[in-house]
Structure 1
Amino acid sequence: MTAQGRVVPAPADARAEDGRALVIRRLVKEYRPGQPVLRGIDLVVPSTGLTAIIGPSGTGKSTLIRCVNRLVQPTSGEILFRGEDLTKLSGAALRRARRRIGMVFQEYNLVERLSVMENLLCGRLGYVPVWRAWLRRFPEPDIARAFALLDAVGLPGFATRRADALSGGQRQRVGIARAIMQEPEIILADEPTSSLDPKSSVEVMEILSRLAAERGVPVVVNIHNVALARRFASRIVGMSGGHVVYDGPPEGLGEGDLRGIYGGESWLE
């Protein structure tokens, strides 16, 4: 650690073998040949806690998240999830891996014409036969869990409301509950507060961190709001120019680190 509190990330191979949910090694993504967005990312996500990824727009935060769940295909590198390289999976093997990865989207990604309950039960689609999903005949334990999660995210009595009738904060709560319905081994959240007002942003982060902690599920969240990252994360990863330039505790993130991540001086004043 430097005098500014900066922590230089160690290569993934050098870190402790125990307690790792996700190991990313030498990850590169190019949307255009010779113009990498991710430039050899090495990162380890522990099996518990909330990891916040901060950095300016265009630095690769969302691309990193989307490479993990394979919404984006990496150009090269490894993404080891519980010891299995996600970059090498396809077909049924990839679908099985995705069942264990909960995703919370910036724009909610709900089915607008369906009810809140039906959106929550979409989190079980990877676990039930196709005919049950088609007929919307989900097992009673799944329905009971969905009602319990609605209570947990502060939406009791919302089961029959259509998703398009909800506010932004309410939609994001449904998105979090749907991700938990998967019984995931990790949760990825891509800018879950960027479309919300300050009060709703805090509430969503509180719900996300609390539910994940109660279930012992690690969370990786991309977030622009540095104050929220400091408040809720157990670890902060700062990205700039497709590289990891800070990896450490929130209390170690100083002004010098923020200048290195975002550049400039005036925005800190």
Structure 2
Amino acid sequence: MHKATESASTSRRPACSAGDKSLVVENLRKEYTRGKPVLKNINLTVAGQCTTAIIGPSGTGKSTLLRCINRLIEPTSGRILVSGQDICTLRGSDLRAARRRIGMVFQEYNLVERLSVMENVLCGRLGYISPWRAWLRKFPQEDIERAYDLLDMVGLTEFARARADELSGGQRQRVGIARAVMQQPHILLADEPTSSLDPKTSVEIMELLREVASVNDIPVLVNIHDVTLGRRFADRVVGMSKGDVVFDGVPGDLTDEHLKLIYGGEDWLA
């Protein structure tokens, strides 16, 4: 066994509280082309308030993993349990109900540009109201009050009536986070949420995601290319290479040898 791989198998994992809000991935496999797996029997358990950074080179399956978890793409085999329910077995209305428990923050924000910031945040409740209320954008008062609370949390209260296309990239990502939390999810997934942002804003977004995990008592999984940010803000780091998990432990256990195994090459750190 490679030295770094051996260390990874015995890495310490963070002591996060295990509550009802949890994610368990068992033997997850994804093939776009038969016999050529992008994900190779991934096993992962995340619970409590843990912020988990998933690192690895482009094309190694990080985004595919998140998209399997929220069923944007279909796994080839395996199980994905969100708060104890296997979402791989669900279809139709049952799947739509399960997706309400999975918040998603996208790399490119995925906001409705012509709508206001407040309306975009309230979109997080569309799965909870009737189609005619959604079409008329008639939300319960308690949802509106919660949306204002979340805008306060992300520092955008004064922009509530502004159109989404008037915001900066960092502000848009904050709206995306507020919208995801508006779902009252059991887990939150973030796919490269800092890739289009400057260093200062990237730090602010990672701080905010960690706060979301703590305040809402939910696991947050973040795909991230910036290893330094991942180490700084995550309770746990999962390193992927060629569709496999090759490191899983606390940031302090992530060594240069592990990074060479994850990213390849002997001098990439230079």
Q: Same fold (TM over 0.5)?
A: yes
Unpaired runs of 5+ residues, structure 2, are 12-16
- Aligned partners of 1:182 and 1:95: how far apart in 2? 12
* 1:91-240 aligned within 5 A: 91-240=92-241
Partner of 2:243: 242
Partner of 1:62: 63
- Aligned partners of 2:114 and 2:103: how far apart in 1? 22
SS of 2:246's partner is strand
- Aligned partners of 2:91 and 2:121: how far apart in 1? 26
- Structure 1 residue 267, shift from structure 2 partner: 1.9
> TM-score under structure 2 normalisation?
0.93
Shift in CA distance, 17/256, structure 1 to aligned 2, threshold 3 Å: same
Partner of 2:262: 261
- Aligned partners of 1:5 and 1:153: how far apart in 2? 41
CA contact under 8 A between 1:237 and 1:246: conserved in structure 2?
A: yes
CA contact under 8 A between 1:123 and 1:181: conserved in structure 2?
A: yes
- Structure 1 residue 128, shift from structure 2 partner: 1.1
Deviations 1:65-99 (A, max 9, x none): 00000001001111111221111111000001000
- Structure 1 residue 7, shift from structure 2 partner: 2.4
Q: Which runs of 4+ in 1 moved over 2 A?
A: 2-7, 16-20
- Structure 1 residue 220, shift from structure 2 partner: 0.6
Deviations 1:109-144 (A, max 9, x none): 101111101000000001111111111111111111
Deviations 1:147-172 (A, max 9, x none): 11111101121011111111110000
CA contact under 8 A between 2:20 and 2:83: conserved in structure 1?
A: no
- Aligned partners of 1:162 and 1:18: how far apart in 2? 38
Shift in CA distance, 140/212, structure 1 to aligned 2, threshold 3 Å: same
- Aligned partners of 1:65 and 1:162: how far apart in 2? 29
- Aligned partners of 2:26 and 2:103: how far apart in 1? 21
SS of 2:218's partner is coil
- Structure 1 residue 266, shift from structure 2 partner: 2.0
Unpaired runs of 5+ residues, structure 1, are 11-15
CA contact under 8 A between 2:26 and 2:80: conserved in structure 1?
A: yes
- Aligned partners of 1:156 and 1:20: how far apart in 2? 28
Letter in 1 for 2:104: M
- Structure 1 residue 180, shift from structure 2 partner: 0.5
- Structure 1 residue 18, shift from structure 2 partner: 7.1
- Structure 1 residue 20, shift from structure 2 partner: 7.0
Letter in 2 for 1:6: S
Asked if 1:86 corresponds to 2:84, the answer is no
- Structure 1 residue 3, shift from structure 2 partner: 8.0
- Structure 1 residue 211, shift from structure 2 partner: 2.2
Shift in CA distance, 153/18, structure 1 to aligned 2, threshold 3 Å: closer
- Aligned partners of 2:23 and 2:10: how far apart in 1? 15
SS of 2:9's partner is coil
CA contact under 8 A between 1:6 and 1:247: conserved in structure 2?
A: no
Shift in CA distance, 5/48, structure 1 to aligned 2, threshold 3 Å: farther
- Aligned partners of 1:196 and 1:89: how far apart in 2? 36
Partner of 2:33: 32
- Structure 1 residue 19, shift from structure 2 partner: 6.8
SS of 1:268's partner is coil
Higher mean alpha-carbon deviation, 170-179 vs 212-221, is at: 212-221
Deviations 1:161-204 (A, max 9, x none): 11111111000000000001001111000110011111111011
- Aligned partners of 2:73 and 2:190: how far apart in 1? 15
Partner of 2:23: 22
